[in-house]
Copies of this chain bind each other. A is one copy, B any other.
């Protein structure tokens, strides 16, 4: 059994993974600014050192504790961007380095959720095994492939949610009026509400620290500009052309997925 040091382990994600590692018989050391055990001490003791602090602090924490991590140990971080933290972990430590990204929040549990590993240096075999034993679906990719993909999954989603919410604000439309809404609209509004029910700093960091966020934002702006112009000019052909292009890109919806989504529509 190994010693797992979790730096910043008092947050929700840190505590959830502390429980999961303990359940497998590992010893878990938790260090943060408010624990007796300092992050540097925990880093020196860990066979696996996990940094789970806000994105904007991650590179700084790596700079401080990287040199304390033993050469034979594994160093990882838990943030939603991987290019910059992986580069820093490689530079400021001599340990085995692998970036981690749990692609879910603490509210949904671990079972069947996606977890990404970005191997940078050395071996991380037992860590990967431990994650699989938790029921996680582990994928492996480069930090660049990860950030490019997440610029869609996260940045594009956030952009679309916040543009939606901000348009409502500008139009002085009250989103909490419950009259006269369609089922799928309520689901959509639920997603926007959930995006707003979170730390503004986290989303700000994801939008600014993912190196591919800019090109995603540019594409979204272009799509919006094209649609707005077509609507302004009542250009039926122009609007339809965009919808047809999207339909072609997405392909035909399969019956089982259609049924699933329809059930979803009755949910809120």
A residues apposed to B, CB below 8 Å: 103-105, 107-108, 113-114, 116, 139, 141, 146, 149-150, 152-157, 159-160, 162-171, 173, 175-176, 179-185, 187-188, 190-197, 200-201, 203-205, 207-208, 213-228, 230-232, 234-236, 239-240, 242-247, 249-251, 253, 257-258, 260-268
Pairs across A and B, CB under 8 Å, 18 listed: A108-B266, A113-B183, A114-B180, A114-B182, A116-B180, A155-B231, A156-B167, A159-B227, A165-B246, A166-B242, A166-B245, A170-B219, A193-B261, A203-B243, A207-B239, A208-B234, A208-B235, A213-B231
Given contacts A184-B195, A201-B240, 15 further A-B contacts (CB under 8 A): A103-B181, A165-B246, A169-B246, A170-B223, A171-B215, A175-B249, A175-B250, A176-B250, A176-B251, A184-B191, A191-B191, A196-B250, A208-B235, A218-B228, A221-B228
Q: Out of B169, B204, B219, which one reaches A245, CB within 8 Å? A: B169
Chain B residue numbers with a CB within 8 Å of A218 are 228, 232
Chain B residue numbers with a CB within 8 Å of A188 are 157, 160, 191
Q: Would A224 and B114 be within 8 Å (CB), given that A253-B196, A261-B193 are in contact? A: no
Evaluate contact between B156 and A168: CB separation under 8 angstroms: yes
Min distance, Cβ A231 to any Cβ of chain B, angstroms: 4
Question: In the complex, A217 Cα to B213 Cα: how many Å?
Answer: 23
Copies in the complex: 2
By Cβ-Cβ distance, the 5 closest A-B pairs, closest first, are: A166-B223, A165-B246, A167-B219, A169-B249, A197-B253
Chain B residue numbers with a CB within 8 Å of A261 are 190-191, 193-194, 268
Question: In the complex, A236 Cα to B183 Cα: how many Å?
Answer: 35
